[in-house]
A and B are shown apart, each in its own frame.
Chain A
Amino acid sequence: MQATRKLPPVTEVGMLSLALIVAGGIYLSAHLPRHVPLAPAVILLAASALLLAGNLLSLTRVPSFAWSRFFEIARWALLAYVVTAGMIEYAFVRDHLSGGPLLVLTLSLVVYAVHVPVLIAFTVARYYDPSEATA
C-alpha cells in the first residue's frame, strides 16, 4: 500500500486551515450588521493562508509524489469548489456586504476553494506510485 510511505500531515494541516477560515467567517457573521473589528478575522485568514502555503511546500518535498494524478484530480475539484464558492460569494454580494468584511470573506473563500481540492487530490495521489499504470 502506497500509504505506508512517509508523507507530511497534509490532511491534518488542511483541516486546521479550514477550521481557521470557518472560525473567521463565524466571527464576522456573529457581529452582523454591527461594525466588526477586522483584526481577528484577518489574523485567522493569514494563518489559514500560511498553512495552505506550507501544505503545498511540504508536498513539493515529497520524493516520487504522483503529481500528474494530483493535478488531474485537483483541476476538476477546483472547478467544483470554485462554483460553490461563487454561490456563497453571490449570497454575500446580494446581501450588500461590502468593504473589509467582504474582502476578508472573499479571500477566505479563495483559501477554501484551493485547499479543499488540494486535500482531495492529495488523498487520491498518496495511494499512487508515479510509475504505476493507471486506468
Chain B
Amino acid sequence: MASVGGVASQHHEAAPAEAPDAQQDFEVVPRRGLIGVAIVFVCVVAAIAANKLWPLAFLHFVGGASWTIIDLFLGFVLGPILGSLSVPAKIEMTKKLMPKMVLIMPTVVTATLAAGWQLGVHLGTVQSTYYHHGWTVASFIVVGVMAVIALGLLEPANIAVLVELKKRRPDPEVIEKLMKRFIYTAGATGVMQIATLVIMAKLTVG
C-alpha cells in the first residue's frame, strides 16, 4: 500500500498557498446526508421488526458488499492515489471525501451487522445447534476485530482530520498522520473482509 505521504516534507512550501477561509468551506457532518442515514436506519428497524427474510437479506447483502468494496477501494485504490497527489490536491480531496465517509461507514456497518444478526436469528444460523456453528462464531470473531479497528482507529481519524481541516491553520503533519491511519486501517479491514467473504460463502452453500 502506497503512503499517503509526503506532506511532512512538502508542507512548508505548500501551506502558504492555502487561503485560510477556503479551507473551512465544508461541513464535518453533511447535514443533508443525515436524511439518507435516517432512511437507512428506519429501513433496518422496520426489517428487524417485520423479521422477513427478503428485507433482512437485502440490507445485509447490500450493506456487507458496500462495506467490503469501500474498504478495499479506499485501502488499495484511492489510498495510493491520494499518496501521489500534491499537498493542496490532497487537502482538497480529503475535504470532499472524508465528510461523506463520516456518514457512509457507520451507517453501512450498523445496517450490515444489525440486519445480519436478525437474518441469522431468522435462519437459525446464529444458534449453537446450527451444524456450521463454528463458521458462524468465526464470522463473529472476524467482524469483532474489524469493529474494534474501525471504532478505535478509523472513525476517530476520520473525524479528527476534518476538524483539523476546519482550523484556521491546519497542520499538514497532523492531516498526513490521520489520513495515513484512516487509509491503512481501511485497507486492513478490507483484507479482513476477504475472510468474511470466505465464511459467508461457506455458510451460504452449507
Contact = CB atoms under 8 A, between A and B. Distances in A.
A123 B151 CA distance: 12
Contacts of A32: 126-128
A25 B145 CA distance: 12
Contact of B110 (A30, A84, A134): A84
A69 B164 CA distance: 12
Contacts, number: 113
Contact of B48 (A11, A80, A91): A91
Contact of B126 (A1, A29, A34): A29
A18 interface: yes
Contacts of B196: none
Interface string A115-132: 010011011100100001
A80 B33 CA distance: 14
A34 B152 CA distance: 32
A127 B171 contact: yes
Nearest to A34: B128
Interface stretch (B76-84, B155-163, B198-206): B155-163
A2 B174 CA distance: 9
A19 B148 contact: yes
Interface residues on B, range: 35 or more
B118 A94 contact: yes
A102 interface: no
A5 to B, nearest CB: 12
Interface residues on A, range: 35 or more
A25 B141 CA distance: 10
Contacts of A77: 159
5 contacts: A26-B140, A26-B141, A26-B144, A90-B45, A90-B48
Interface of B: 24, 29, 41, 44-45, 48-49, 51, 106, 110, 113-114, 117-118, 121, 126-129, 133, 136-137, 140-141, 144-145, 147-149, 151-153, 155-157, 159-160, 163-164, 166-168, 171, 173-174, 177-178
List the 7 closest pairs (A to B, CB-CB), nearest first. Answer: A123-B156, A15-B152, A22-B144, A123-B160, A120-B156, A26-B140, A135-B166
Interface of A: 1-3, 11, 14-15, 18-19, 22-23, 25-26, 29-34, 69, 73, 76-77, 80, 83-84, 87-88, 90-91, 94-95, 112, 116, 119-120, 122-124, 127, 132-135
